[in-house]
Structures are given as structure tokens and as C-alpha cells.
Amino acid sequence: MSSNLVRKAASDGPVLAARNIVRRFGGLYAVNDVSFEVRRGEILGLIGPNGAGKTTMFDLLAGSIPPSSGDIVLNGANVSGDAPHRRIRRGLGRTFQIPRPLANLSLVENVMLAGQGQTGESLVANFLRPFKVAAEERVAEEKAMELLDLVLLSRLAHEPARVLSGGQRKLLELARVMMADPEIILLDEPAAGVNATLLEVIMDRIREINARGVTFLLIEHNIDMVTRLCHRVLVMASGQLICEGTASEVARDPRVIEAYLGGAA
């Protein structure tokens, strides 16, 4: 069954689900029996103190590390044993807290490299089907330019990525991940190291992409951003999911006050 048919068949269920996920490192439980669902079309926040297990959870969802036990379900399919590139093809994209674009390539080239299933990826095809490869590259460049326009970087499209500020690199990362047509994007601390002006731009772009039907799950320490952006919030502490609800609901939960806010009233 093609990936598009798989996505269509799963359209009524959650786009992503964790089922009783456990991840051990020796005797340490980094994630301990965590279950949750990401509803199709929402912006879901994942918060918690340092060491709560959030980044490990992201690594598990993206396929960077396997779970010790439990299942990860993407568009109705169990992908617990799938490599990251297979999850990308099933509709899952991920950004990183510190984006690392190819500094000497232009922005448009960086975005084009994130495309999937290009004939030109095969060395033989470049010799046997050069016209098809060239046609696909033109289409990919047009799409990349449209995505750079979406994240307000089109004026820098042909500049090397090294000229970008930290916040602009996060916008480029959004364009790169969108190149693969994801249904869900895992965002790792989009506010980290970003000035207030660019943060407003990033939030606006996330809302715009979400309005186009893309689901988001994000880790973030900026509570103001989470409150303004997320439809629901999950809270982890000591490797476990301790609370979920709206931002205002979790802010009032005593377990969150104790674990995340250090017991402050």
C-alpha cells in the first residue's frame, strides 16, 4: 500500500500515538510507561523540567533510538522498528534545537536537499534519464522557493546559509522539513536562542502551516509561547507523563507546580 493510501486510511485516528513507551539506559528509566495521542490538526506542547525525558521521547518518536518496550503508531501503522527515513516517508518530520544547515549552500539548495523520492538520487538515473532528472529539479526548486516565501526568507534564497541568524535558521529548518510534505512536525525548542521579534515571526509561521493541515508536537521551555500557541499541553517529569490539558489547566495542577515550577505557588 502506498504511503498516501496509508495516510488516507488512518485519517480518522490520531496522527501519532505513543503506547506504553519505555526507554531504559542501563538501570535508568529515561521514559517510563508513557502513553499519549497527537490529534490530527492540533498544536500540542510537551513541557517539563530538565531531565524529564522530553528529548528522549522525541528521539523515540522520530526513530533516532528504539523503545525498550511499547509501540509508536504513525498514521495507524506501528513504526516502532522503522528507521527515521521511513517515518519521514510516512509523514513525520522533525526539527532540532540547534539547526545545522549546510553553511556554504544557498538557502534554496538547503531546502531542495530535503525533498523525497527524486529520480536524481540515483547515480544511474542521472545518466539514463537526464531530462526527467532536470524536470524534477525545476519542480523541486519552484517548491523550495514557495516554502522560503512561506517562512519569509525568499529574499535570501540564493545567499549561503551561513549568513542567517539563529532565528532565521529555525525558519529555514521549517522550510526544509516542509519540503517532505509532513503530516506532523516534531519541533524541538523553536524559541531557544531567538529574539522576541523573530519569535513572533516563528509563531506566526507555525500557525500558518498548522492552518494548512499540518499537526505539530513541540518541546518548549518558553511558557508564554506554549500558552499562546498550543491547543493542549503534556507535562513530563522524571520520565513519566504527569499531566495533560490546556495550558491554563496544567498551570493550576499541583503536580505541575511541584515538578515543573519547583513547588512555587
Co-location of 121 and 169 in the same domain: no
Picking from 145, 163, 181, the residue at the C-terminal end of a domain is 163
Considering the entire predicted model, what is its pTM? Answer: 0.86
CATH number at residue 221: 3.40.50.300
Picking from 163, 188, 212, the residue at the C-terminal end of a domain is 163
Inside any domain, residue 264:
no
Tell me the C-alpha distance between 186 and 92, whole Å: 8
Tell me the C-alpha distance between 130 and 186, whole Å: 35
Co-location of 115 and 214 in the same domain: no
pLDDT in tens, the chain (265 residues): 344 444 444 466 899 999 999 999 998 999 999 999 999 999 999 999 988 999 999 999 999 999 999 999 999 999 999 999 999 999 999 998 888 899 999 999 999 988 755 554 544 444 445 556 567 678 889 999 999 999 999 999 999 999 999 999 999 999 999 999 999 999 999 998 899 999 999 999 999 999 999 999 999 989 899 999 999 999 999 999 999 999 999 988 999 888 766 644 3
Co-location of 40 and 8 in the same domain: yes
What is the separation of C-alpha 232 from the centre of its chain, rounded to a whole number of angstroms? 16
Co-location of 187 and 93 in the same domain: yes
Structural domain including 253 reads 3-101+164-259
Count of domains observed in the chain: 2
Co-location of 94 and 109 in the same domain: no
Inside any domain, residue 265:
no
Tell me the C-alpha distance between 232 and 244, whole Å: 7
* Pair type for strands 43-47 and 184-188: unpaired
Co-location of 73 and 154 in the same domain: no
Co-location of 32 and 110 in the same domain: no
Tell me the C-alpha distance between 179 and 142, whole Å: 11
Picking from 112, 138, 163, the residue at the C-terminal end of a domain is 163
Tell me the C-alpha distance between 170 and 95, whole Å: 8
Pick the closest to residue 177 from 156, 204, 147 (CA basis): 147
Co-location of 126 and 242 in the same domain: no
Question: Across-strand partners of 155?
Answer: none
Co-location of 157 and 34 in the same domain: no
Tell me the C-alpha distance between 131 and 191, whole Å: 42
